A and B are shown apart, each in its own frame.
Chain A
Amino acid sequence: MKDKAFPRAACAIAGAATFGIGLCEGYSALEMTARAGLLALEDAGLGLADVDGLFTCLPEDLLGGLAVAEYLGVGARFVDNNRTGGSSFLNHLMTACFMISAGYMDTALICYGSNQRSAAGRLVSALRGSVYEAPHGARMPIGGYALAASRHMHDYGTTREQLGAVALAARAWAQLNPEAFRREPLDMQEYLAARIVSSPLGALDCCLVTDGAAAVVVTSRARARDLRKKPVAVLGAGAETTHKEIAAMPDLCVTGAKLSGQRAYAAAGYGPADMDMVQLYDAFTINTILFLEDLGFCPKGEGGRFVQDGTIAPGGALPVNTNGGGLSCVHPGMYGLFTLVEAVRQIRGEAGERQLAAADLALCHGNGGVLSSQTSVILGSMDTV
């Protein structure tokens, strides 16, 4: 069956790095991307000469894959510039695993960076409205997520306070992460008082706009065993795309994460109950609720009630976004790659004050567009292989 075709544990993440989280003045997006790539290779104990596949996309350069290939002098055997929004990098990992396990390449570098906080001062989005959507002047992408949230509230009674619980959990995790951009305390009163940007979503329902770069190095598990750091196996992956513009989403309350998750679980041979953590793309608070439902952690419609009492916060039963997520740690336009880096750090036991006691299995989930592209990846320690 197709879902089980993924080369389970054939590949591993051997290196991971972030760079310039928060403010990184004086660096271009390309330089930040390259720096993260070099740091991830150093983390793995590999050099540029070991890289024969490059997977990247840059925020404003549609041919950024070529720019990074030239800059680092890597990727001649294959460059993938696939861009499905913030899910791109989990798609990159999926492709890289297939290509490495098939023997076309040995080592892939997946990297991304953006200086959009210091350079543009606003979210740089690749979204462009169609002739059907653009004339209405809707603020996007937030409008798309707000529409889904309005429907979730209508159908399931989800409340602003439940959305707020997602924001508070992310902030509590960020307070344990020295790298996170927003670490000051946040309480429900402050959350509820924040300016509404696109009802029901307010300023504190939105991901940050920061600078930041990340990279991971992927190679065969056999090769990764001999490298500097403990390998983190790629156990499963799956993807699903349902639409581009929000009006075409088949059901505003059910995302493609339902299928992408099922595919990743089938490939890995693990289910939601086995996961020690979830690292998901929280562009807006409603994302966390939708994805936890669709990825099988609670029934459809129960996401709000699932998160409301601190279940996903530090000390809760299901740690979610242990770095602080896009809401409180880092969001340089596309966040997906940071889900992988944080899972690697947790599985290796490198997460410092926020380190989880049990950290063998992680579900990483990327989202692109307006709930359009969904990609799930399951990472695990060597004990889980």
Chain B
Amino acid sequence: MASPSTASLGPEAEYLQALRDGRFCYQRTAEGRAVFPPRLAAPGDGAALEWAQSSGRGRVHAVTEQPQKPPAPSRIIAIVEMDEGFRLLSRIQAEAPVAIGQRLRAVIAGESEPPHVFFVPQGEQDEG
């Protein structure tokens, strides 16, 4: 398992450390339910969680474009649904507007503080 290794840290710090090491991780239960953001136990039922590495593939679930003061380009903010079944808020780096259903690939900004992932369009449009 692509588990972040530092067991003495809380899940949030473990997640951030993994990003610094170039891995975008999420958690899942023994039944395969994906959980994000990282937690000590699965929300609602307290099930045990183990780390897994995300494929980084997902699609736009909802999207908004926020114009910035010129000359800065608009910021594209999306809720991304990952192929593993969890969602997160992120930004999309793209020249043109993106639509719901657009396939995306994660880019790890591991040097940023705090480290995070953003997305770029890749491939076809899904049904949404």
Interface residues in chain A, defined as those with a beta carbon under 8 Å from any beta carbon in chain B: 130-139, 143, 146-151, 154, 195-201, 245-248, 252
Closest A residue by C-beta to B13: A131
Check if B66 sits within 8 Å of A197, measured CB to CB. Answer: yes
* Contact (A138, B62) CB under 8 Å given A131-B16, A245-B89, A247-B88: no
- Is the CB–CB distance between B91 and A148 below 8 Å? no
Q: From residue A287, how far is it (CB to closest CB) to chain B in Å?
A: 15
Q: In whole angstroms, what is the CA distance A151 to B62 when docked?
A: 5
List chain B positions with a Cβ less than 8 A from chain A.
12, 16, 36-37, 61-67, 75, 77-79, 87-91, 100, 109, 112, 114, 116, 118, 128
Q: A143-B77, A154-B128, A247-B79 are in contact. Are A135 and B116 (CB under 8 A)?
A: yes
State the majority secondary structure of interface residues on B.
strand
Q: Please, which residue of chain B has its CB at the minimum distance from the CB of A133?
A: B89
Known: A135-B116, A197-B66. A150 touches B77 (CB 8 A): no
Hey, which chain A residues are within 8 Å of B61, CB to CB?
151, 252
Asked if residues A146 and B64 are in contact (CB atoms below 8 Å), the reply is: yes
User: Mind listing 24 A-B residue pairs with CB under 8 Å?
Assistant: A132-B36, A132-B37, A133-B89, A135-B112, A136-B77, A137-B91, A138-B91, A139-B75, A143-B64, A146-B64, A147-B64, A147-B78, A147-B79, A150-B100, A151-B100, A154-B100, A196-B67, A198-B66, A200-B64, A201-B64, A246-B79, A247-B89, A248-B87, A252-B61
With most chain B CB atoms within 10 A of its CB, the pick from A133, A151, A247, A252 is A247
Residues in A with CB closer than 8 Å to B75 are: 136-139
List residues of chain B with CB within 8 A of the CB of A151. Answer: 61-62, 100
A154 to B77, CA, bound (A): 16
- CB neighbours (8 Å) of B78 from chain A are 147
Say how far B106's CB is from chain A's closest CB, in angstroms. 13
Distance from B103 Cβ to chain A, minimum over Cβ atoms (Å): 16
Contact B64 A132 (CB under 8 A): no
Q: Note all chain A residues with C-beta closer than 8 A to B88.
A: 132, 247
A119 to chain B, nearest CB (A): 24
Give the residues in chain A near B65, CB-CB below 8 Å.
196, 198-199
- Which residues from chain B contact A148 at a C-beta distance below 8 Å? 62
> What is the bound-complex CA distance between A246 and B78, given in angstroms?
10
Centre residue among A133, A148, A201 by max chain B CB count within 10 A: A133
